[in-house]
Copies of this chain bind each other. A is one copy, B any other.
Amino acid sequence: MRENRLKELWAEGHPALGGWLGIPSSTSAEMMAHAGFDWLCVDMQHGAIEYQVAVTMLQAISTTDTVPIVRVPWNEPGIIMKMLDAGAYGVIIPMVNSRAEAEAAVAACRYAPDGIRSYGPARAVLYAGPDYFSRANETVLCIPMIETREALANVDEIVGTPGVDVAFIGPSDLSVSLGLPPSTDQDAAEFVSAITSVEAACKRHGVVAGVFAGNATVAGKRIEQGFRLLEVADDGRTMVTGAAAALAQLREPA
């Protein structure tokens, strides 16, 4: 079975730098897959992407060695299993707030006896190899998101759930839940301590800490804090930022 390169990167002590895809197109996905990221996440929650296009995006990513990750819209077994069947090597699951929710997320990601995943990995076998069934449970990543006050309160129970590979912070939702404006980084003490406390919980439980950084500067800071799965840039924002900069150069000459 094709190895999960993210696990190899972590074993070598490296952070895994990722891109985020919200544009529903296999064309932009393939371009981003050639841009040098270690992994790409097809975002089916806040991205404008539904299953049918997501599959073509996973195919586009599979033309390279970039590791394909999917964020599902919600913690539901149907869509988690569909995306794993489609070849995702990890699933990011929003709004996991309790041990029970974490266990449900894990169960959807694992074949029996570790979970309840239904068998039928039609595309995953093509991507991963014929021994997919026997090695899938140890290869695909289950990545619950920690992004609410409630999740912070339960962080050890969530992160310590057997089968959780990564805990991934959604900083905007975390901000909102804490009564702050949505942001990928801010100085508010409660926000700062939340970030560090999740990372510390991950360390306690031998789980990788991940985070949506939003840009390279924040990503660099988070790497120093111990995070090892980092969203660095998304497709749409990167495009629009670059476009606006080009226009500004012409419209406001120095």
Interface string of A1-35 (1 = CB under 8 A from B): 00000000000000101010011111110111011
From residue A16, how far is it (CB to closest CB) to chain B in Å?
11
> Least Cβ distance of A41 to chain B in Å?
13
| A46 contacts B216, C-beta separation under 8 Å | no
The answer to the question of A162 belonging to the interface, with a C-beta cut-off of 8 Å to chain B, is no
**Cβ contacts A215-254/B at 8 Å (1 or 0 each):** 1110110010000000011011011111111110111010
Query: Which single residue of chain B is at the shortest CB-CB distance from A249?
Result: B216
- Report whether A31 and B246 are in contact in the complex, using a CB–CB cutoff of 8 Å: no
Per-position 1/0 for A171-214, Cβ under 8 A of B:
01101110101100000000000000000000000000000000
**Nearest CB in chain B: distance from A229 CB, A:** 13
Q: How far is the CA of A31 from the CA of B236 in the complex (A)?
A: 7
- Asked if A250 and B219 make an inter-chain contact with CB atoms under 8 angstroms apart, the answer reads yes
- Picked from B30, B36, B251, the residue with its CB within 8 Å of the CB of A244 is B36
- A247 surroundings in chain B (CB, below 8 A): 17, 35-37, 216, 232-233
B249 touches A111 (CB 8 A): no
Interface size on A, residues (CB 8 A): 93
Taking a contact as CB atoms under 8 Å apart, the answer to whether A45 and B118 are in contact is: yes
Chain A 115-156, CB-CB to B under 8 Å as 1, else 0, gives 010111111001100000110000000000001100000000
Residues of B within 8 Å of A216, CB to CB, are: 245-247, 249-250
| A240 to B40 alpha-carbon distance, docked (Å) | 13
Q: Across the interface, name the chain B residue whose C-beta is closest to A53.
A: B52
Q: What is the bound-complex CA distance between A104 and B219, given in angstroms? A: 35
- Most B CB atoms within 10 A — which of A46, A94, A147, A243? A243
Contact in complex: B250, A243 (CB < 8 Å): no
Provided the pairs A48-B123, A50-B52, A118-B173 are in contact, do residues A215 and B31 lie with their beta carbons within 8 angstroms?
no
Question: Which chain A residues (48-71) contact chain B, with CB distance < 8 Å?
Answer: 48-53, 55-56, 59-60, 62-63
Query: Is A25 a contact of B22 with CB atoms below 8 Å?
Result: no
A103 CB within 8 Å of chain B: no
Residues of B within 8 A of A249 (CB): 216-217, 220
